Amino acid sequence: MNLPIIKLIINEEDETRVEKVSFVDNPAIERQWMAFNSDKNPYKFKANEEKRVVTGPLMVAGLPIYRRDEQLGEYYVQFDADTIRNIVYKFSKEGRTNAVNLMHSEDVDGVFMFESFIIDDKKKTPEGFSELPNGSWFGSFKVENDEVWDKVKDGTYRGFSVEGIFEEYAERIADEELINRIVRVLTEK
């Protein structure tokens, strides 16, 4: 069975927005920080030891992200390139580059975004990362917090996850059986 896809958006005029970026162990976008080429620890993630910087994708344009809850059941959410661009603009405009937490729960100090860009025809996916579609959001964070940095180095945190308030724009029904039933009902005389 195919699951519905719900397109999420934000608006300039209301409370919808990305509120924080979270350091997580298993990013929903299924993209992690670049891994070291090391036989000793294949799960160790690349982080600049001297500069204490982590870099990677924050949002991937068009990627269906699996969700499950009691109200809606199983479904996917998706952000298109235009929505991601609006998210990045609003996030920056509201000065949220210091709004970082760990595993979507514990707010943390000493971690901040210093670089952010949207992948397009001129600004490509950085070397060493899997190619991202145009409209995807990429960023770099400085980690001055020693405890967080230790968990980046030991692989506890492997990537980014954004959290925020979004509006459901539309639902595309991907269940062919349901679509066929609707078509039969509409075409019956």
Report whether 169 contacts 77 (CB < 8 A): no
Domain boundaries, the chain: 5-187
Cα–Cα dist 160/79, whole Å: 16
pLDDT greater than 90 at residue 175: no
User: What average pLDDT does range 26-32 have in this prediction?
Assistant: 79
Cα 139 to the chain's mean position, in Å? 11
Question: Which residues, 6+ apart, have CB-to-CB distance to 5 below 8 Å?
Answer: 64, 75, 76, 77, 78, 171, 172, 174
Which percentage of the chain shows pLDDT scores above 90?
A: 48
Residue 16 has pLDDT above 90, yes or no: no
> pLDDT tier at 104 (50, 70, 90 boundaries)?
very high
Q: What is the pLDDT of residue 46?
A: 53
- If you count them, how many residues does the chain have? 189
Cβ contacts of 121 within 8 Å, gap of 6 or more:
134
Q: How far apart are CA 139 and CA 164, in angstroms?
A: 17
**Regarding predicted confidence, which is higher, 44 or 160?**
160
Q: Please compute the mean of the pLDDT values over residues 56-81 and round it to a whole number.
A: 90
Average confidence (pLDDT) over 57-64: 94
Q: What is the pLDDT of residue 184?
A: 65
Query: What pLDDT does 48 receive?
Result: 57
Residue 34 pLDDT greater than 60, yes or no = no
Q: Among 1-10, 106-115, 151-160, which range has the highest average pLDDT?
A: 106-115
So what's the pLDDT on residue 40? 38
Q: Which of 113, 100, 115, 95 is nearest to 147 (CA)?
A: 100
| Averaged pLDDT score across all residues of the chain | 83
Task: Give the C-alpha separation, 10 to 85, whole Å.
Answer: 10
Residue labelled with tokens 């539309």: 170
Give the least confident one: 71-80, 86-95, 113-122, 167-176.
167-176
pTM for this model (two decimals): 0.79
